[in-house]
Amino acid sequence: MVAAVSSTTATTGTLASASTSAQDQSDRFLKLLVAQLNNQDPMNPMDNSQMTSQIAQINTVSGIQQLNDSIKSMSAQYTSMQVMQGAAMIGHQVVADGSTMSINAGVGTAALSLDAAASSVQVQVLTPGGAVVDQFDMGALSAGTHNIQWDASSYTGGGTPTFSITAKQGSSTVTATPLIRDTIASVGTDSTGAMNLALKGGGSIKYDTIKSIL
């Protein structure tokens, strides 16, 4: 009988993350233990050390479940605090990872980051479908982050345009990273609970992709 109860307790511990609550597991364990005590052989009673070990196991399972619940509660509170702090960014421009171009009053804005100085930087503007709309040369640029402005007054591609960068130093290619430059319109959370920032120009970005707040 002792072996059977120990097996049940071990299985319950393995499935601690299932829908059965720690209280339900504890109640079920106590019922089994009482039944075992009522039906034990009077000539061969249960060993006290075995009983103590089984009670310790169910207490461990209950403690782990309570710890998980506490962590979930703390995570939810942290997410709420993060969204409240993020609300202070509404109306501010941010530079973040991404290759979409924000259009406002006929002007497209974005940014790029160069790992090293480049003697020639070419920018291609594309429709959401990938068709080239325009291309222009930004000339020689130093290493670091630079703003991009594009005359979008005649853009009729439909949807938010994207852009690509080709940077060279002589015949060598320089690594260039496209960046979004847009205004935060609202703050919320996605399906995973992570903070999500909606952009005025359309689309959204995650908080951890932000490079700078202007």
Phi, psi of 159 (to 5 degrees): 85, 175
For 106, the 3-state DSSP assignment is coil
Residue ranges per structural domain of the chain: 2-87, 90-213
Q: Using 50, 70 and 90 to split pLDDT, how confident is the model at 26?
A: low
How far is residue 143 from each of residues 65, 83, 167, 168, measured CA to CA in Å? 52, 34, 11, 12
pLDDT at position 192 is 74
**pLDDT tens, position by position, 136-155:** 999 999 999 999 999 999 89
pLDDT of 66 > 80? The answer is no
pLDDT at position 14 is 45
Nearest CA to 128 out of 100, 169, 151, 89 is that of 100
HEC string for the chain: CHHHHHHHHHHHHHCCCCCCCHHHHHHHHHHHHHHHHHCCCCCCCCCHHHHHHHHHHHHHHHHHHHHHHHHHHHHHHHHHHHHHHHHHHCCCEEEEECCECEEECCEEEEEEEECCCEEEEEEEEECCCCCEEEEEEEEEECCEEEEEEEECCCCCCCCCCEEEEEEEECCEEECEEEEEEEEEEEEEECCCCCEEEEECCCCEEEHHHEEEEC
Global pTM value: 0.62
**pLDDT tens, position by position, 33-59:** 777 767 766 666 666 666 667 667 767
Fold of 90-213: Immunoglobulin-like (2.60.40)
pLDDT at position 116 is 97
Integer Cα distance of 110 and 127 in angstroms: 15
Indicate the average pLDDT of the chain: 81
**pLDDT tens, position by position, 155-180:** 987 788 999 999 999 999 999 999 99
